């Protein structure tokens, strides 16, 4: 695994991938690499103009790329359902789902159209519902994978079941950490349930370390003293979006990626470097909390993996 790069991605010819949040940053670099390896890649995002520019950018590098763009807003359960219906109508199976899209540390509490706290709704609940709705297509594929994007921030996270939506007390960073912990717990719980129920789907998680993306540059801390110091340290502690996408790509494509594994950069505090197994905190391995989160998510989204699996 040492110094693993995109050159190590096996041929993905004939395989179909969906990447959320693929109009820029980590998602764009992930989609670029998958297309370069021959996959049929569906880029999704909520900004259609950026989506078209992303398609143009990938085609400039890979003129023969098999790519398309589809509108998908993870902050809208109806948008998730509409996308899943469109995908099912045109695709019998799905080989790879990369749950990448996200928002970070919004200064003021915002809500999705379904009334969820924006970070929990976009980063986690939307992906939970999307994954469930695409389960039939994932099950029809041979050796399909789901990759959930977590973060180093999960280490500071806690699932506050008493105030999951931050209605009583909202703190931007706490809400972000909770959403990223939820994504890692979801990945691990999904692997356990896939094995138990015989779904035949592999679930893996990844994080990018400190990757220089618009999520950071346009974040709520921009232009603060802490942000300016961070900018000065960036060359030493961060890496490009393309480098930050490598753990995701390893989790998505490498034969060495373990089911239920978690991958991130291998250097100082997992901030940068080639992909390697990443640290999973004890709260992410809390099976009882993960099961509770799964049930709460099904209730909140109105989407049940078990019901969809039976129907499939």
- The catalytic residues are 176
How many CB atoms are closer than 10 A to CB 177? 21
Separation CA 262–CA 195 (nearest Å): 17
Question: Of 155, 148, 187, which is closest to residue 21 (Cα–Cα)?
Answer: 148
Residue 273, Ramachandran bin (φ over 0: left; ψ between -120 and 50: alpha; else beta): left
Helix-then-strand count for the chain, H and E: 13, 10
Helix or strand or coil: residue 82?
Answer: helix
Terminal-residue alpha carbon distance, the chain: 36
Helix axes 25-36, 246-253, angle to 10 degrees: 40
What are the structure tokens assigned to 112, written together?
Answer: 């999705």
Separation CA 296–CA 213 (nearest Å): 32
């Amino acid at each position: 695994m040492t110094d693993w790069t995109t050159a190590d991605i096996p041929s993905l010819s004939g395989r179909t991938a969906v990447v959320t949040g693929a109009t820029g940053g980590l998602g764009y670099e992930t989609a670029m690499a998958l297309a370069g390896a021959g996959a049929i890649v569906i880029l999704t995002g909520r900004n259609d103009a950026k989506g078209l520019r992303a398609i143009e950018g990938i085609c400039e590098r890979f003129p023969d790329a098999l790519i398309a763009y589809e509108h998908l807003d993870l902050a809208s359960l109806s948008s998730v359902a509409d996308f899943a219906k469109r995908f099912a109508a045109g695709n019998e199976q799905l080989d790879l789902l990369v749950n990448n899209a996200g928002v970070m540390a919004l200064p003021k509490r915002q809500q999705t159209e379904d009334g969820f706290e924006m970070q929990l709704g976009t980063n986690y609940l939307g992906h939970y519902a999307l994954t469930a709705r695409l389960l039939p297509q994932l099950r029809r594929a041979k050796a399909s994978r789901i990759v959930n994007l977590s973060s180093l921030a999960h280490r500071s996270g806690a699932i506050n079941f008493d105030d999951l939506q931050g209605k009583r007390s909202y703190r931007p960073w706490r809400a972000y950490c909770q959403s990223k912990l939820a994504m890692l717990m979801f990945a691990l719980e999904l692997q356990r349930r896939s094995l138990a129920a015989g779904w035949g789907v592999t679930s893996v998680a990844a994080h990018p370390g400190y990757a220089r993306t618009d999520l950071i540059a346009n974040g709520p801390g921009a232009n603060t003293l802490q942000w300016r110091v961070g900018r000065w340290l960036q060359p030493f502690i961060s890496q490009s979006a393309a480098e930050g996408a490598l753990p995701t790509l390893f989790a998505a494509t490498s034969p060495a990626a373990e089911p239920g594994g978690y991958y991130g950069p291998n250097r100082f505090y997992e901030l940068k470097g080639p992909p390697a197994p990443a640290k999973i905190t004890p709260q992410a391995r809390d099976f009882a909390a993960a099961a509770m989160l799964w049930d709460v998510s099904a209730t909140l989204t109105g989407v049940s993996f078990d019901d969809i699996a039976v129907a499939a």
